[in-house]
Amino acid sequence: MNYLKTAVLLAVLTALLIFFGDALGGRNGAMIALVFAGLMNFVSYWWSDKIVLAMYGARQVGEGDAPELFGIVRDLTMKAGLPMPKVYMMESETPNAFATGRNPHHAAVAVTTGIMRLMTREELSGVIGHELSHVRNRDILISTIAATIAGAISYLSQIAYFAAIFGGRRDNDREGNPFALLIMMIVAPIAAMIIQLAISRSREYAADEGGARLTGNPLYLADALRKLEYYNKRTPMEVANQATAHMFIVSPLSGGSLLKLFSTYPPIEDRIKRLEAMVGHRRF
């Protein structure tokens, strides 16, 4: 169901791009914005893993450095039928983790030193299972596609803004309604952002379910999420920023209700309820 929801949301996002692009400058306008956004996200897709790992000062570890962590990653990777990812450690008291990499053959799993001290082996397995599910589901690719389309819509909105200031006309010579264009200029980027957030949330649910199946017990991840939410609220990660916060298993940022409203994460309590509901389920 999560895969179907993601496909539908991507289709709606694409339709929004075509509609807005046609309203502003014909199909050529939409294509130019899409290509421009695609080029920027292409760079991000290929090199974002190295950038993010360096940003958080993550260091690669081997089995001799972190035998328990390395063993969990290796065991779950084999169970998932994935190549062994690189394993990284971040110096931070805040417990958290993320996965990155453009595909399963170029993947990395990073955890903080705080999560190693806080979690039991079972809870850590639940966290790693969640991250490996992101890798197996190619969520980095899906989020890049969504970001490309949403970015193109944002660029079109900026073009519309400057066109409204300096004047101009559409390249297909059809007159547009200036008020409708103004509304679209405001609404389209907001709608694109909401859809992009919905896609991200859908992928989190899918990774939770996949991680629970990998470990064989949904309660491992459910218990880990409870701890992660509590400690990330108490001691949010100092070096975290909004641009990369969506990569972590729970938000490393502190913030009020407005930040939660536009968060890429589903509510923790909802994620826990879904995991608990999997216990004893016939399909599990």
- The Cα 197–Cα 246 span in angstroms is 10
Report how far apart the first and last C-alpha atoms of the chain are (Å, whole number): 15
- Cβ(170)–Cβ(163) under 8 Å? no
Give the burial class of 79: count Cβ atoms within 10 A of its Cβ; 0-12 exposed, 13-18 middle, 19 or more buried: middle
Q: Which distant-in-sequence residues (6+ apart) come within 8 Å of 125 by Cβ? A: 72, 76, 215, 220
d(CA 60, CA 165): 51
Classified as helix, coil or strand, 94 is: coil
Contact 93, 111 (CB under 8 A): no
Radius of gyration from C-alpha coordinates of the chain = 21
Q: Which amino acid does the sequence have at 145?
A: I
CB atoms within 10 A of CB 38: 18
Closest CA to 170 of 59, 278, 66, 20: 20
- For 190-218, the DSSP string reads HHHHHHHHHHHHHHHHHHHHHHHHHHT-H
Instruction: Write out the catalytic residue numbers.
Output: 131
